Structure 1
Amino acid sequence: MFIRPFLTTALLALGAALPAAAHDDRLHEIEAFFADADIVSGPTQVDCTLSGGTKTSCFSITVKPNPKAYTPGPWCPQTITDGADKGGIWFLDGGVADVDGDFITRLAKIYGDTEWQLFDPETGQVRFTGTLEACEAAARPDVDPAYQNYCVQCLPEYLPEDTAMTYVIPLEPIKADAPSPTHFAGSGLAYNGIRLDGPAPVDAILGAHTIAPFDDCGGHVNTHVGYHYHAVTTCLQDAPATTVNAATYGPQIGIAMDGHPIMAHKDGIEDQLDACNGMEVDGLGYLYFAGAAGDNAILGCHVAEVGCTLEGKDATCDASQMGRRGPPPGGGQPGQAGPGQPRPEN
């Protein structure tokens, strides 16, 4: 359990560096926070360059995209008679809808487009991506025409067993000159080691007459980062105790890529939050609050300079290059990262 505030608020406000002993304490806190993650290595202290060019100290942690508390899925129902237990969820009208068989049959009506036809009207079988090759062809911005009008799901077993991602996050937040989007490095990392991603590219998905459901925990899989969240649901309610939890603002469900805490969604405080879904709290500093599950925005943006997500645990973090590389291949759809960063097509 953390025995002091999430970070030394006064030092952060002044932009001062934490002393070595405080860094050691912070690493112990971080290690305790990620106790439920499938950790490959870390957390360790490393040198890093943040998105604004600041050279500072970060923690580096390499994790597998494997939640220990539950098995991800399901995503796509297989027939139009399947109930909600056979499928996941989808963002609809600011909320979430169960992707059951009935939902699949109503897509043309829901979106006012008669081109929708994700099932065989004679057999009632839903068209879904059932192989790695189909997943890779459908789960990209320029969907292979052969997989339009498909329910898109990529399964965890499609990824190599040693799949892992390295997250390099500042030990202390460094306020940015201006807020930055979350689709380069993601929003942050949940306490169970699962990436809290930026917005899903819903327009691109729907534009190809495809649906890429999330499971009931708000997650799905792509072959770049593995299982990751686009929404925070009750699956993250068993977060470890921290000081900010005890202050009625919890639970803390993750750490943002800029080092600030991410709290669970909290109803009734929306008018107090800024555009990034955060606010200053006396004695606790700046806290983010996850958006509602149907918002397609765990965070609205980052207020501080962000670190890196890396595919190799020995790679060096220079996040200052992210914004200089232009749009990623495929047109730069929301939810994608720049070159050199993992590209979450869905």
Structure 2
Amino acid sequence: MAACNGGSTDSTTLSDTTTTDDTTTEASTDLIVEVDPFNFESDALISSISTQTCTLSNGDEASCYKIDIAGAPSNYEIGVFCPKNITSTADEAGIWFDGGGEVYDITGDFILNLPTLYNDSHWQLYDEGTGLVNVTDTQESCDGAARPDVEEQYQNHCVECSIDYVDGGISESFLIPITPVASTQNNSIGNTNVGVALNGVVLAAPAPVDAILGAYTIAAFDDCAGHINLVAGYHYHGEAGCSQTQIQSDGHAAMMGYALDGFGIFGMLNEDNTEPTDLDECRGHSDDTRGYHYHAAGVAENMFIGCFKGAIAR
């Protein structure tokens, strides 16, 4: 993998003012570390990383890396998603999280307990006669269910799609500023992709949980918090540890990817299983080695970071 215009280990310092809705606070001078193309796994990309001029969300022109990812994890096989029947164990299915602070193993007992969990008797994801779970096991049913507007015949289904439906993965290109530029005001993520994992998978915006549950569906994730649809292919909605490929030598949480603003994203917990206590509203802070960087939220939260600290390419 080649990088144009070298300098991936260069850094600068920046003193900035962070503005929130009601307050303006003076931030300390932070070390800004450039994006390092060599942090990406070798099989995560479909072409060498190149450099091009881009326009950032603050209106400035900048140099960006063009990163073309494969759209499938380079470091593991995609796991299972839905249970097949109401006797299935945790080893036979994936997980579900709805932003409420818990991660659920999609066991047979989970399927049986859905009316109680969501306090709604309309949940019925299995056949009472056979015990088989209603699963979207064809490309047609995947297409009808793995969307915010679930087709009626696929309501009360556990939704899963095969990576084969998208020819092994959907490649995608990202422009990420080589040198992150802190904004004077934190930028909302909204429905924008958050960034890219070092193993070649998109870090997506929060899953549309309300629409999923409103159709009496469970859009199952594998144990790595990824799942598949026909538009985005395989992508993450949470950080379950599978993308943490860059281990740090000082006990800091491992690196898992880059946000679209160029700041690195690391795991939630450091090697001693503690979470940093000084994270800002974007879930970022600074140190003398990594400069300003983010720590991903727990997988149960259906998010990675709280906002973009920096400007993103438009």
TM range, smaller chain: 0.7 to 0.9
> Equivalent residue for 1:90?
96
> What's the CA shift string for 1:200-227, capped at 9, x where partnerless?
1111111111100111011111112211
Using the TM superposition, give the Cα deviation of residue 179 of structure 1 relative to its aligned residue in structure 2, in angstroms: 2.0
Alignment of 1:260-271 (within 5 A): 260-266=263-269, 268-269=274-275, 271=277
**More helix, by proportion:** 1
- Residues 1:8 and 2:17 are matched in the alignment: no
With over 3 angstroms needed to count, the CA separation of the structure-2 counterparts of 1:7 and 1:222, relative to structure 1, is: farther
Partners of 2:218 and 2:47 in 1: how far apart? 35
2:165 to 146, 155, 158: 158
> What's the CA shift string for 1:251-287, capped at 9, x where partnerless?
1111111000101112544541111111122453211
Alignment of 1:208-287 (within 5 A): 208-237=215-244, 239-241=245-247, 245-266=248-269, 268-269=274-275, 271-287=277-293
Counterpart AA for 1:70: Y
- Residues 1:149 and 2:152 are matched in the alignment: no
Q: How many residues align?
A: 288
Range 267-276 or range 145-154, more displaced: 267-276
Partners of 1:36 and 1:102 in 2: how far apart? 40
- Mapped contact 2:71–2:202 kept (Cα < 8 A): yes
> Equivalent residue for 1:288?
294
Where 2:110 maps in the other structure, the secondary structure is helix
With over 3 angstroms needed to count, the CA separation of the structure-2 counterparts of 1:184 and 1:201, relative to structure 1, is: closer
> Equivalent residue for 2:53?
47
Counterpart AA for 1:192: N
2:74 to 53, 58, 68: 68
- Mapped contact 1:36–1:191 kept (Cα < 8 A): no
- Mapped contact 1:66–1:194 kept (Cα < 8 A): yes
- Residues 1:123 and 2:130 are matched in the alignment: yes
Where 1:102 maps in the other structure, the secondary structure is helix
Partners of 1:256 and 1:35 in 2: how far apart? 16
Counterpart AA for 1:249: H
Using the TM superposition, give the Cα deviation of residue 50 of structure 1 relative to its aligned residue in structure 2, in angstroms: 2.0
Partners of 2:169 and 2:148 in 1: how far apart? 26
- Mapped contact 1:276–1:299 kept (Cα < 8 A): yes
Using the TM superposition, give the Cα deviation of residue 184 of structure 1 relative to its aligned residue in structure 2, in angstroms: 4.0
> Equivalent residue for 1:302?
308
> What's the CA shift string for 1:153-196, capped at 9, x where partnerless?
11111103573111111101112232223344411111111111
Partners of 1:36 and 1:299 in 2: how far apart? 25
- Mapped contact 1:291–1:297 kept (Cα < 8 A): yes
Using the TM superposition, give the Cα deviation of residue 26 of structure 1 relative to its aligned residue in structure 2, in angstroms: 6.0
- Mapped contact 1:5–1:284 kept (Cα < 8 A): no
RMSD: 2.2
Using the TM superposition, give the Cα deviation of residue 41 of structure 1 relative to its aligned residue in structure 2, in angstroms: 1.2
- TM, length-normalised to structure 2: 0.85
Partners of 1:5 and 1:287 in 2: how far apart? 16
With over 3 angstroms needed to count, the CA separation of the structure-2 counterparts of 1:55 and 1:130, relative to structure 1, is: same
1:59 to 62, 65, 83: 65
- Mapped contact 1:118–1:149 kept (Cα < 8 A): yes
Partners of 1:270 and 1:35 in 2: how far apart? 26
With over 3 angstroms needed to count, the CA separation of the structure-2 counterparts of 1:183 and 1:85, relative to structure 1, is: farther
1:100 to 101, 107, 116: 107
Where 2:49 maps in the other structure, the secondary structure is strand
Counterpart AA for 2:280: D
> What's the CA shift string for 1:112-166, capped at 9, x where partnerless?
0000001011111111111112111111111111111111111111103573111
Where 1:46 maps in the other structure, the secondary structure is strand
> What's the CA shift string for 1:295-343, capped at 9, x where partnerless?
1111111111123xxxxxxxxxxx1xxxxxxxxxxxxxxxxxxxxxxxx
Partners of 2:44 and 2:288 in 1: how far apart? 34
> Equivalent residue for 2:30?
none
> Equivalent residue for 2:27?
none
Where 1:273 maps in the other structure, the secondary structure is coil
- Mapped contact 1:232–1:264 kept (Cα < 8 A): yes
Where 2:78 maps in the other structure, the secondary structure is coil
**More strand, by proportion:** 2
Gaps of 5+ in 1: 15-24, 308-318, 320-346
